[in-house]
Amino acid sequence: MKQNLALFDLDNTLLAGDSDYNWSLFLINQGLLDAKAHQERNEQFYLDYKNGNLDIDKFLEFQLKPLAQHPVKFLDALHVQFMDQVIRPMMTQKAQALVDKHKAQGDLCLIITATNSFVTRPIASAYGIKHLIGTDPEMVNGEYTGGVTGVPSFQEGKVTRVNQWLAERGQKLADFEVSYFYSDSHNDLPLMKLVTDPVAVDADDALTKYAQQQDWPQISLR
């Protein structure tokens, strides 16, 4: 029996909210970031992302800097609290049911997200998905530097990273008779256009319009 591929965006798709944006708010609430300096820039980057004009390099420099300011052990303990207080309330039953359906069908499941893998790996695990592609924060001697390793998984970068990941497995996208990609964002159109079954999930206005034109399925996981 041939295996199908199921790709999932994370923020505002499987999650009813944005993990990256909320991680910054969480750090502010913990007193680990200056509220005034950080919150305004966080809001602006989030707006840029939604508008499709995010400077990914500037954003990652901003977003990964706090990781370099604390030991990994401290950050990991903090993330446990973040999962309980912030992320689990964003995990919807409909999203879990969709993931479970694909797993039950024997599909190869992958979360692919622009959000860094420190923030997102525990979330993927909580959904029961073992494969994750996130933007990878650079580590030296077991601690974060604030830099990035490899290609950020954003816009066209998602296509690059999926192809790299499949190649490492000795596979390519064309090997799958059916490939799904669930996303809320027009930023994901480069990858959505390559799969056989793109699905718009609680989509932004630009993706909703495009999905209507292409007659793509549109669903809500809220």
Residues with Cβ within 8 Å of residue 88, at least 6 apart in sequence: 126
CA separation for the pair 23, 116 (Å, rounded): 11
* pLDDT single digits (tens) 70-124: 999 999 999 999 999 999 999 999 999 999 999 999 999 999 999 999 999 999 9
Q: Map tokens 């809220």 to a residue.
A: 222
**pLDDT of 1 above 90:** no
Q: What percent of the chain is predicted at pLDDT more than 90?
A: 91
CA separation for the pair 203, 91 (Å, rounded): 17
Please give the CATH number for the structural domain made up of 5-219: 3.40.50.1000
pLDDT at residue 38, rounded to an integer: 86
Active-site entry in 11, 18, 20, 202: 11
CA separation for the pair 9, 115 (Å, rounded): 10
Active-site entry in 9, 20, 107, 188: 9
Flag the least confident range among 57-61, 127-131, 191-195, 198-202: 57-61
* pLDDT single digits (tens) 120-139: 999 999 999 999 999 999 99
Instruction: Give the pLDDT band of residue 50 (cuts 50, 70, 90).
Output: confident
**Domain ranges within the chain, ordered by starting residue:** 5-219
Say whether 11 is catalytic: yes
Question: Mean pLDDT in the chain?
Answer: 96
Comparison of pLDDT for 50 and 216, the residue scoring more: 216
* pLDDT single digits (tens) 166-184: 999 999 999 999 999 999 9
Residue 63 has which token pair? 């977003």
**pLDDT of 42 above 90:** no
